[in-house]
Amino acid sequence: MSDGSPKSLWRERLASPLTWHYAGFAVLLVAVIGLSIRLGFDWAATNGRSTDALAGKQIELKAMELATAPLRGLDKRVEEFRSQLQQFYAKRIPPNYSSIATRIGELEVKSGARLSRVQYSQGAPGQELTEISMDAGISGEYPAIMRFINSLERDQTFFVIRAMALTGQQGGVVNLRLRVSTWLRPADAAASGLPPTPEATETRSAPAGKEGE
């Protein structure tokens, strides 16, 4: 029998299966708590890395979308540009040299100005077009000259005024030197028989090509 001393009671409790059961349960509980904490940390770290990786992929995808955006539908835009270019050629590029000279003559008559020393020449053949230059003197009253200039700029045939310089004035009559460009298809320009265009800085003193007054 137990003598009732504290040591005896302690020995009895240590020998009791219930005490060892409680002790084992406590150890198991501590282990479970430790594993749970560790699992929580691991899950948080893994989830953070996954979130960072996902955000990185999303940024890469957005960057690729922005980089490729200008290329979307590029083939359609190229085809549309080619179609517009062909329409421009058909409507505004003259078919031959004679049509240029004829149109210049018509605009001259309508304006009331007078062209003299008209010379036509052609530049170096281009891949699509060849530049045709007209160098001429123009005289008349100021309103008539401005009508001719405005009619050139607004005409359906594509004319570009390259240079215009005052060469004299007497009374109400103004004299100008005028240089105008238009374009022909290379084959049409070659068939025109026009001489090559001199350098822009060269002053032409003698007729160098076909004339029309």
For 79, 85, 88, 125, 188, the CA distances from 128, given in Å and listed in that order, are 17, 11, 12, 8, 11
3-state helix, strand, coil in the chain (%, to 5): 55, 20, 25
pLDDT, mean of residues 202-207: 38
Higher per-residue confidence, 37 vs 141: 141
Residue 15: its pLDDT value, please?
A: 57
pLDDT, mean of residues 147-176: 92
Residue 213: its pLDDT value, please?
A: 40
Residue 34 has pLDDT above 80, yes or no: no
Q: What is the CATH number of domain 94-192?
A: 3.30.70.60
pLDDT, mean of residues 30-41: 67
Percent of the chain with pLDDT over 90: 45
Q: Which two tokens stand for residue 200?
A: 């822009």
Residue 155: its pLDDT value, please?
A: 95
In the chain, domain spans: 6-65, 94-192
Residue 4: its pLDDT value, please?
A: 52
Q: What is the rounded CA–CA span in Å between residue 164 and residue 125? A: 25
Least trusted range by pLDDT, from 72-76, 167-171, 199-203: 199-203
pLDDT, mean of residues 31-54: 64
Residue 33: its pLDDT value, please?
A: 72
Bridge partners (DSSP) listed for residue 134: 120, 180
Residue 210 has pLDDT above 60, yes or no: no
pLDDT, mean of residues 90-99: 92
Average pLDDT in the chain: 78
